[in-house]
Chains A and B, each alone.
Chain A
Amino acid sequence: MPDWEKLSTARVIPLARPRKLAKVPFAELADGRLQGVVSSGSDIERVYVSSVAASTYTFACSTNNNRPCGGARGSFCNHILALVNEAVLQYGAERVARYLRVELGGEEPSAPSITRGMSVTRPAQGDTALAAPVFSRFLRHLAYLELAPVTAPVPEMQWFPPTRAEA
């Protein structure tokens, strides 16, 4: 086996797994949080911006217009539960648990065990100041769809082979 540290094409990020995007169009592990956007079930114009911080599990949920979520009073709302579920589908439970530094108490990593591991610590509710930057990251993410393909070669892509190895 070649030395992984000396591979130009060492695979660092495992294969992302497909998931349905209708409910949670955006989920990411970034800036020390699990954060994302959850579409409202009742109003097509409205989305909720939800986040949970690593280690402290401080959570926040509000609409993109900065109205606090009615469900996130003292404990995780359904949007945050949906966000954890979808992040587990996308990244794999192990990576989500590791990123959020969740103590699983010997349980297998899964969306329910991760949620339970965080809830039992009675995490604090954060303010909604995060909604704006997370929402703008979502818009930046959507803007990738508007970028046109090019046919000039990008030799740099030779450093990014696909992988079949899932998270």
Chain B
Amino acid sequence: MRADLLAETIDGIDEALAAVDAFDQVLTAGLLRPQPAQAAGLARLAGAVTGTPLAARVAEAAEKAAAGVASEDHLVALAAARTALLGSVHDALMTQVTEATGRPGGGDYPASEQAGQGTSARQAANVLAAARSWLSDLARGGWRGLDTGVVSESAPVVSAMLAEPALRRLATLLDGFAAELAASCPGATLERVPARRWADLWSRGMLLTVPGAAGAPATGTVTGRLLPLGIDLTEHPTAAQAQVHAVLEPADGGGPRLVRATVSVPKPDTVIGAGVWQLLRPRMSLLAAVSQGRSMDLADMPVTAEGDLIWSDEHARLGEPAAPFAAARVALPTATAMATAPLDRHPARIAVPVFLEGYAARQDDDALVFTVTGRPLAVDTDRIPVAGPLTPEAVAASGACIGLLRWDAGSFSVQPLAVETTVKKKAVAVQAGGWAGGTTDAAGVKAEKAATDATSVLRERAGRLLRK
């Protein structure tokens, strides 16, 4: 990868982000009694989408909001404007990333249909409306106006949505968001406000309350050999997701493609560490394949236009041994990246598999930095899950790395998924998600035991108390 190409400044990004920041300050203060500063922030957002199809609706919404009379539809329009601006930032960054990786971009799966997934039942509409109403209340009060009352109103909405798998995306988002807000009450005395982050979560939540917005239907199926590169674990107190990044070699002889396979689950906040792998493991045999260093053979596995496999074990069987570093060296350089769904065009969604070697690693203050093709690239070691064999120390001592290229707050970084390091003069690969499918490592066995104990206490309590 040519990290030097990532250092070039991109025209227009600063202006777009300045408009986003202006709106984020509006949400920090709240829309209940808008002051001139908020009116200016709203005008800045509206001004930034002039000349786009959103312009008229956003201009009206900004005006109403500045007058303190924004309806929920107006708030959705403002969220859409902010999302569109970050979408343009995403696109500009991805053009740069594609040049830096030198891989073919723009996969040729059919364009995503933005149809819903048939969950337009009235009940779903009601709960989506309730979610929108809660988010609107948050915007009126602002982050500075947060109190436990408004935050706790999300609980019944989230519970109703969690019961419906088709609403899992919005439910998971709001559940994690509400937990952060609850931990930050009262907003008036917060030392600092994560303004970009909370506005991201708010805007995304708002757009997901539009019926059909969360639909990512499978548009086809794939058959071929799946070569895992590594696992990206994400988690908040009451949910976790494992996303396997992999190269698919289609059986029909087409070129290799970058794909993802994902499994997520809601969880009690006391199930952590290895307990998360225990909840995810039974639903996706691929996690065990990753831990064992095996490929998988897929037959007619459903896939979306974005290259997301909709995993089902019946379409997969364990294949030959396949080392992730072999896949990264041989198959990754020519793998085609897939398109990004319109709603997912956001810088925080950038997670591009890269293979790095020949870098110099150094510890810079409290951050690890790789020098790649003469340019510094920060290494986000905080993303390495604690329930795994990979450590920041192993990354610092590594000679090769499979990672995800990411971007946040103006800079690129790499999230390590696996590294090659030398142990007793032998090159060994250590994966961040190495324990996903189980482990015989002593520390891992201990973590599994503790997690099993915790989960079994909760299951015993649930069995005794839940259905009375």
On chain B, the residues within 8 Å of A41 by CB distance are: none
Which residues of B have CB within 8 Å of A124? none
Q: Nearest-CB distance from A92 to chain B (Å)?
A: 12
Partner of B266, one of A10, A19, A147, A160: A147
Minimum CB–CB distance for A132 against chain B, Å: 13
The reply to whether B382 and A13 contact each other, CB–CB distance below 8 Å, is no
A interface, how many residues as a size bin? 35 or more
B121 at interface (Cβ–Cβ under 8 A)?
no
**Tally of A-B residue pairs with Cβ under 8 A?**
230
| Docked complex Cα distance between A157 and B172 (Å) | 8
- Residues in B whose Cβ lies below 8 Å from that of A26: 270
Pick out which of these stretches binds chain A: B71-79, B257-265, B324-332, B419-427. Answer: B257-265
A145 at the interface (CB under 8 A from B): yes
- Is B193 an interface position by the 8 A CB rule? yes
| B interface footprint on A142-154 (CB within 8 Å = 1, 0 otherwise) | 1111111111111
Let me know if B155 is at the binding interface, CB within 8 A.
yes
Interface string of B161-197 (1 = CB under 8 A from A): 0110100111011001001101110000000111111
In contact, B193 and A149 (Cβ under 8 angstroms): no
Are B453 and A20 in touch, CB under 8 angstroms? yes
Tally of contact residues, B, Cβ under 8 A:
101
Q: Given A153-B262, A161-B382, does the pair A145, B165 have CB atoms closer than 8 Å?
A: no
Query: Is A2 within 8 A of B351, CB to CB?
Result: no
Task: Let me know if B196 and A10 touch, CB within 8 A.
Answer: yes
Task: Known A143-B466, A145-B268, A151-B262; judge A159-B384 contact (CB<8 A).
Answer: no
Q: In the complex, what distance in Å separates the CA atom of A7 from the CA atom of B410?
A: 9
Query: Cα distance A31–B169 when bound, in Å?
Result: 26
Chief secondary structure at chain A's binding surface = loop
Complex: A7 Cα to B411 Cα, angstroms: 10
Our pick among A25, A159, A165 for the contact of B461 (Cβ within 8 Å) is A25
Asked if A74 is an interface residue, CB under 8 A from chain B, the answer is no
Q: How far is the CA of A11 from the CA of B265 in the complex (A)?
A: 21
| A8-B196, A8-B409, A13-B179 known; A149-B184 Cβ under 8 A | no
Residues of chain B whose beta carbon lies under 8 Å from any beta carbon of chain A: 17, 21, 148, 152, 155, 159, 162-163, 165, 168-170, 172-173, 176, 179-180, 182-184, 192-197, 200-201, 204, 208, 216, 233-239, 241, 243, 260-273, 279-280, 282-284, 304, 308-312, 341, 343-344, 346-349, 351, 365, 367, 380-386, 392, 408-411, 415, 450-451, 453-455, 457-459, 461-462, 464-466
17 intermolecular pairs with C-beta atoms under 8 Å apart = A1-B365, A5-B193, A6-B17, A6-B410, A7-B197, A8-B409, A12-B197, A144-B266, A145-B268, A149-B264, A150-B168, A153-B241, A153-B308, A155-B349, A156-B170, A162-B233, A164-B381
